[in-house]
Chain A
């Protein structure tokens, strides 16, 4: 009886450790950026955009997209499967309204190996623009854009399988630009 009890306790302990480790690993791969550290900037900003759309709201909004409309269908397809879209954008009247620490509080979360930087353009006059992508093997887990201009600070965080191919195909719709992301070549009917 005592031996059985010890074995059960050991098995439980190992299982609990496994669950804890799995949870920590999953959490570490979570491409959600904590943006709350920037909330204090809202008081200084002349204009603030704060978008928090979770999976449920995305799915709810997706129902309103018209499948017969080509553009809306594309957007619906793009947002389908996303787990969240979070945006914080602050526009200030004066320069230096936000600090380097504010930017670093976001940048510190966008580190390897979870995140890979796609683009980093730094200009003393115009500020910085950084584009990050979270990958798990070939799967895209999320996208982050950090734009710190003299009078504007914007952070975009898209959580979920952002299909870069679909994103690239959306060029022209909503002014979504070409990021140099070439879609995988799929043979069209004419090529068959």
Chain B
């Protein structure tokens, strides 16, 4: 058998190979257009589809933005647990002694003692916020947070002190910019 024929059909052909070629030749690829039949029809492309997709995306972004703003605006008053609220807000306010309340009110900027003071309801503090009701992990987390908070405040205090000390001892040309606020 001549292997050259099998390789590139250049040598002497083998009759057996030729016979096989003839048998299998009918299955050879025949280029012809694809016939899908009448049942299958290509769907016409909706020209508005991209626009609808864009509009839907924008709508989702809009809703997400609105939700985010809503959640954000809700979070701030909830966290304001100082005990002093403007009369407009209606929130559960911790129990505060009258004398202490007056003192605190006197420290609020822009609120002189002569102004009519907002009515502070004496409502029992929700027990859920009490430290005793915190779980062990929450308490641990709170303790760590407090520790970090104190470190941060001490460091801030130290640096502010340093700035103050340097500003006082520095020559005028060393202080490039200093404003007084208040």
Residue positions of A touching B, CB distance < 8 A: 5, 8-9, 12-13, 15-16, 19, 22-23, 49, 51-53, 55, 57-65, 75, 77, 79-81, 85, 87, 89, 116-123, 126, 129-131, 133, 145, 147, 154, 156, 158, 163-166, 168-169, 174-184, 186-189, 192
B131 to chain A, nearest CB (A): 6
Q: What per-residue 1/0 map shows which CB atoms of B70-102 lie under 8 Å from chain A?
A: 000001100111100000000000000000001
A residues less than 8 Å from B158 (CB atoms): 175
Interface size class of B (residues with CB under 8 A): 35 or more
Starting from the known contacts A87-B156, A121-B170, A163-B109, 10 additional A-B residue pairs (CB-CB under 8 Å) come to A16-B61, A57-B149, A60-B145, A126-B166, A129-B159, A154-B159, A176-B161, A177-B164, A180-B178, A188-B113
Q: Which residues of B contact A181 (CB under 8 A)?
A: 180-182
In the bound complex, what is the Cα–Cα distance between A89 and B162 (angstroms)? 15
If A80-B82, A186-B109 touch, whether A145 touches B159 (CB-CB below 8 Å) is: yes
B61 pairs with A19, CB closer than 8 A: yes
Q: How far is the CA of A100 from the CA of B104 in the complex (A)?
A: 45
* Cα distance, A57 to B45, chains bound together (Å): 54
Interface residue from A60, A169, A175, A192 paired with B114 (Cβ < 8 Å): A192
B176 within 8 A of A: yes
User: What's the least CB distance linking A167 to chain B, in Å?
Assistant: 8
What residues make up the interface of B, taking CB atoms closer than 8 Å to A? 48, 51, 54-55, 58-59, 61-62, 65-66, 75-76, 79-82, 102, 106-114, 129, 131, 134, 138, 141-143, 145-146, 148-167, 170, 174-182
Contacts of A187 in B (CB 8 A): 106, 112-114
Q: Using a Cβ cutoff of 8 Å, how many contacts connect chains A and B?
A: 198
* Chain A residues positioned under 8 Å from B54 (CB to CB): 9
**Given that A87-B151, A158-B156 are known contacts, is A186 also in contact with B181, CB under 8 Å in the complex?**
no
Given contacts A19-B65, A186-B112, contact A174 B178 (CB under 8 A): no
**Which of A8, A61, A126, A192 is in CB contact (< 8 Å) with B149?**
A61
CB-CB under 8 A from A121, the residues of chain B are 163, 166-167, 170, 174-176
Compute how far the CA of A81 lies from the CA of B77 in the bound complex, rounded to whole angstroms: 9
* Contact A165–B114 (Cβ < 8 Å): no
On whether the beta carbons of B152 and A145 are closer than 8 Å, the reply is no
Nearest CB of B to A22, in Å:
8
A74, chain B: closest CB distance, angstroms:
10
Q: A81-B79, A145-B163 are in contact. Are A184 and B182 (CB under 8 A)?
A: yes
**B174-A123 in contact (CB<8A):** yes
B79 A16 Cβ-Cβ under 8 A: no
Given A81-B79, A154-B159, A75:B107 Cβ within 8 A = no
Whether the pair A58, B159 counts as a contact (CB closer than 8 A) is: no
CA A57 to CA B147, docked complex, whole Å: 11
Query: Are A63 and B134 also in contact (CB < 8 A) when A53-B149, A183-B182 are?
Result: yes
Q: Are A189 and B62 in contact (CB under 8 A)?
A: no
